[in-house]
Structure 1
Amino acid sequence: MTTTLDEQYYSSLLELQQLDFALVELTLFLDTHPNDMQALQQFNQLAQQRQQCAHAFELRYGPLLQFGHSYSKFPWQWSQSPWPWQV
């Protein structure tokens, strides 16, 4: 089953990708600068923002992750495409 995607889908997915990129970069920075309070605060802020963004995305479009990391509505959504990595 293929779902029709709207502009908001792509916009939300892009926001998640941008947050993920920033979180990876901050993780690498914090690995070498563990006492940088400003970077740590920014990391925690972006982690919270990413969690909220992912939750909103999943409520509207279905799960982002498998193996119990994301909930599914009824009926089982994981069989519906496209999956986030396919777009």
Structure 2
Amino acid sequence: MTIEQARRQAQSALSTMAEGVSPNSEKKAARVRGVTLGEVFEDYLKARKSLKSGTLADYRKIMNKAFGDWQRKALSDITRDLVPHSSLICG
């Protein structure tokens, strides 16, 4: 990056902040929009350290069966319209 490019980037960031928008919050929002259902599920399992291996296996089985196609889908892309009531019943 040249000095001139750095100056332009800094000027752009300053003008964004002058408008009341935090560049850090924009970056965080972009990261959050990209979080997938599978990532959240894995984070949930990691946070629940007390789950027994059988429970973990059951959770993974249900997740793969009921939401296998959605695990790579960003949470922000999953809407009410995509979730028919019947798909919530595993059986």
TM-score normalised by structure 2 residue count: 0.26
Rg comparison, structure with higher value: 2
Q: Which has the higher helix share?
A: 2
TM-score normalised by structure 1 residue count: 0.27
